[in-house]
């Protein structure tokens, strides 16, 4: 089964994606991490993503995801795509790619969240500069503020998690994702979940809906 998990920034899709990957034995594709790695190597990508807080052109994002799959999981089966696709064009590109592999997207999980809650969550997010572990100072704080529980590294706030950039990212996200959500619903593969619920509640609802497929 190939799954997409999508939702606005701060909806918890990364947390749910990792839980589902472990529970269902899927191959995890975390698009945000792939894009951040690409930004370290490409000044143009860095300018668009980190300095302007904008979304990359669909073709560039698709190429990054496709190249990762080709190198690490070319059979393209039992995938969990975290945060990708996030536009109708991206969906068309990955759908065509999977079709060439003889597979498809089976279900798309959408974690919905209000903009107000997204800004609150993202402004409170901190990331370990050493190991990449993610914390939230409200919902999942470290034992020692500013220090990673896992490796003792320094916790930092990503530039694009500052409130003014979060608002801009959410505006762009809603504009690009609304047509995609409509298409997924029309195809009958969309699973809507309230992303403001507790983590275990959300996971249970997702698994229940997938088991009823």
Query: Taking a C-beta distance cutoff of 8 angstroms, is the pair 33, 49 a contact?
Result: no
For residues 131 and 43, what is the distance between their CA atoms, to the nearest angstrom?
Answer: 23
Burial 84-109 (b: 16+ CB within 10 A, else e): bbbbbbbbebbeebbeeeebebebbb
Strands 3-6 and 107-112: parallel
Active-site residues: which are they? 13, 86, 125, 158, 169
User: CA-based Rg of the chain, rounded to a whole angstrom?
Assistant: 17
3-state SS, residue 135: strand
Task: Quote the CA–CA distance of 212 and 40 in Å, as a whole number.
Answer: 42
Whole-angstrom Cα distance, residue 181 to residue 174? 10
């Amino acid at each position: 089964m190939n799954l997409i998990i999508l939702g606005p920034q701060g909806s918890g899709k990364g947390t749910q994606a990792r839980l589902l990957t472990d529970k269902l034995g899927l191959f995890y594709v975390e698009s945000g991490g792939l894009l951040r790695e690409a930004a370290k190597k490409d000044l143009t990508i860095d300018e668009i993503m980190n300095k302007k807080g904008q979304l990359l052109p669909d073709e560039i994002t698709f190429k990054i995801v496709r190249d990762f799959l080709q190198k690490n999981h070319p059979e393209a089966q039992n995938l969990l795509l975290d945060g990708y696709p996030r536009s109708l064009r991206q969906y068309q590109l990955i759908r065509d790619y999977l079709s060439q592999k003889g597979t498809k997207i089976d279900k798309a999980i959408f974690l919905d969240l209000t903009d107000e809650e997204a800004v609150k969550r993202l402004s409170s997010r901190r990331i370990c500069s050493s190991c990449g572990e993610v914390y939230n100072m409200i919902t999942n704080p470290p034992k020692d503020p500013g220090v990673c529980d896992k490796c003792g590294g320094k916790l930092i706030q990503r530039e694009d998690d500052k409130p003014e950039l979060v608002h801009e990212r959410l505006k762009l996200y809603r504009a690009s994702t609304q047509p995609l959500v409509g298409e997924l619903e029309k195809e009958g593969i969309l699973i809507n979940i309230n992303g403001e619920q507790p983590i275990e509640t959300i996971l249970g609802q997702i698994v229940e809906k997938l088991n009823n497929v």
